[in-house]
Amino acid sequence: MKGRDVKPGPALSRYVTGIRPYDAVSSLDKIAAKPEQTPFKLDWNESTIPPSPTVIAAINRFLSNSHHLNWYPDLYSRRLLVALGEYVGISPDHLLVTNGSDDALELVCKTYLDPDDQVVVPSPTYTHFLVFAGARGAQILNVYAENPFVHNLDGILRAIHYTTKLVYLVNPNNPTGLMYSEEDVRTLLTAAPNALVIVDEAYYEFAGKSVAHLVQEYTNLVVTRTFSKSFGIAGLRIGYAIGAPELIEDLKRVFNPKSVNVLGQVAAEAALGDKDYLKAYVDEVTDAKVQMVNYFRRRGLQCRTTPANYVLLRIHDPRRFCALLEHEGVYIRDRSSMRQMQHYVRISVGTIAQTEEILNRIGRVLDKMPYAVS
């Protein structure tokens, strides 16, 4: 106000000052601006179909109660933990349900990281974790291989030091699709006995392989998973951590037991009860990946499949390619600004029928531009 001294606001934490915000680029506003167009949202690796009808039915039943949203959710998601334990094949005391798997990753950082602790991160990878670790003042050591699509276990092992506090491994990795074996993970756990190894299994249902059972052998392992990809409830934010009971108890020290919303709890429990729906969708995505890769290769393009629900396409001008696809109502993720990912875009994969229409639209774009990369 004129005539009054303006006092500065509170200073940022010195650990936050140098952090770059997570690149949360979303196509939702662009989709909303074209209500007449059927969109294909393929930029965030979400499910391309709604959740199981049993999920919608369970939510409707819950909302028909006299008391629903006015009460806090089930603390620690105890009902969901029982169903989740059966799904994972482990006792509920090894599990903690969180507000999305991002919440689980942030919770690990809050619980274990002190300023200047070393965090080893095989890269390029999912960058939101870097924000969580950086906000704790950790020293992040990004480990790059000469070729981002080749396993680099030796490089990761060389980076691990006796002062290393966390090792973050996305498996399969986003965006490269690299997947490390159970034996590889055992090697890391043994090489870093004083560190916590995080294995992010966001795409477990598509990959079909997990190291979650190793938490019964190793106390320095935590596995994180999500309901946002294969189960189709990204908007309800449900994830979970799997670890030794003593590790789960440590995470609860700073965990808010009412942070998981009640609709998410209801939906996740119902989703776990319809495994046929889950399997049918995963099978469709698996077949559609082959369909998409074969299409691009017939056109002379380099397309990499992954164990997850996306492929990587190498294109001459990613920015223009993505812009032209937006006019066609197809929204994908330009990953070319990431180190070692020049020329690559990431495309989520849905059903076979969806993929046929998506490829029709992509074909119209490819006919308008040079796309080969020399």
Range of the domain at 149: 53-273
Cα–Cα dist 184/154, whole Å? 10
Mean pLDDT, the chain, rounded, equals 95
Position 5 scores a pLDDT of: 62
326 in the same domain as 254: no
Has residue 374 been placed in a domain?
no
Position 1 scores a pLDDT of: 46
Q: For residues 142-158, give the mean pLDDT.
A: 98
Position 293 scores a pLDDT of: 98
pLDDT digits (tens, 9 = 90+) for 130-141: 999 999 999 999
Has residue 7 been placed in a domain?
no
Position 10 scores a pLDDT of: 84
Residues 223/199, Cβ–Cβ less than 8 Å: yes
Contacts of 6 (CB under 8 A, 6+ apart): none
pTM for this entry: 0.94
Has residue 8 been placed in a domain?
no
Q: For residues 74-87, give the mean pLDDT.
A: 97
Local confidence band at 16 (pLDDT 50, 70, 90 cut-offs): confident
Retrieve residue 264's tokens. Answer: 């998410």
Cα–Cα dist 360/339, whole Å? 31
Final residue belonging to a domain, choices 248, 273, 298: 273
- The CATH code of the domain that includes 294 is 3.90.1150.10
Residues 143/152, Cβ–Cβ less than 8 Å: yes
Q: For residues 29-52, give the mean pLDDT.
A: 94
Cα–Cα dist 103/99, whole Å? 5
Final residue belonging to a domain, choices 247, 273, 299: 273
Torsion of CA 314, 320, 323, 325, to 10 degrees: -50
**Residue 52: which of 286, 276, 206 has the closest Cα?**
276
Cα–Cα dist 256/103, whole Å? 11
Position 372 scores a pLDDT of: 62
Has residue 166 been placed in a domain?
yes
Position 178 scores a pLDDT of: 98
- The CATH code of the domain that includes 164 is 3.40.640.10
**Residue 299: which of 358, 370, 250, 351 has the closest Cα?**
370
- Structural domains in the chain (count): 2
Position 15 scores a pLDDT of: 82
H-run or E-run covering 306: none
256 in the same domain as 295: no
Position 18 scores a pLDDT of: 74
Share of the chain above pLDDT 90, in %: 88
Least confident of 34-38, 185-189, 242-246, 355-359: 34-38
Q: For residues 338-355, give the mean pLDDT.
A: 98
312 in the same domain as 240: no
Has residue 6 been placed in a domain?
no
Has residue 373 been placed in a domain?
no
Q: For residues 313-329, give the mean pLDDT.
A: 96
46 in the same domain as 176: no
pLDDT at 7 > cutoff 70: no
CA atoms within 13 A on the CB side of 67: 4
pLDDT digits (tens, 9 = 90+) for 204-226: 999 999 999 999 999 999 999 99
DSSP 77: G
200 in the same domain as 137: yes
pLDDT at 14 > cutoff 90: no
H-run or E-run covering 132: helix 128-134
pLDDT at 22 > cutoff 90: no
Has residue 22 been placed in a domain?
no
Share of the chain above pLDDT 70, in %: 97
H-run or E-run covering 184: helix 182-191
Dihedral of CA 48/49/55/60: which sign? Answer: positive
Residues 80/97, Cβ–Cβ less than 8 Å: yes
Final residue belonging to a domain, choices 226, 248, 273: 273
Q: For residues 291-310, give the mean pLDDT.
A: 97
296 in the same domain as 161: no
When comparing pLDDT for 257 and 371, which is higher? 257
Local confidence band at 9 (pLDDT 50, 70, 90 cut-offs): confident
Position 4 scores a pLDDT of: 58
